[in-house]
Amino acid sequence: MTAKVLFTGKTHNTGGREGGTRSSDGQLDLKFAQPHPAAENLFGAAWSACYIGALELAAAQKKITLPTLPTVDTEIDLVLDSGSYFLRARLSVGLPGIDREVAQTLVDAAHGICPYSKATHGNIEIQTNLL
């Protein structure tokens, strides 16, 4: 089976005092004077948006109706240790109205579905908290 590209996100970034990023479709157009903390905020926003979709897909696959929309608060740390930079992440997931054990099952399943979770698995420290 041949992989099918579903979407390609294209952005153009510039640095300096007039720095920013713009997507080719115009949906994203942000200004920032320096790449940090903008990069961590953008990464967190993209990951949490993807993760919500993964939670919804996991619920659908398990035939679970979500009584309310899921929420994800993401914190991305830029860490410097011994001259080396790396990232660390915390995802706080809200699934109100769902039994805690069932919600944890969905949270675990979402990490196996979300491309951002797959990309970071084993590469950065990730802590997931069920609210």
**101 burial level (CB within 10 Å; 0-12, 13-18, 19+):** exposed
- For residue 75, the enclosing domain spans 36-130
| 57 and 43 within one domain | yes
Predicted confidence at residue 16, as pLDDT, reads: 72
- Retrieve residue 9's tokens: 């996100």
| 85 and 28 within one domain | no
> For residue range 74-113, what is the model confidence (pLDDT) as tens digits?
999 999 999 999 999 999 999 999 999 999 999 999 999 9
| 54 and 26 within one domain | no
> Coil, helix or strand for 109?
helix
Residue 17 confidence (pLDDT) above 80:
no
| The model scores a pTM over 0.85 | yes
Count of the separate structural domains present in the chain: 2
| 115 and 101 within one domain | yes
- Asked whether 47 and 75 are in contact (CB, 8 A), the reply is no
| 106 and 92 within one domain | yes
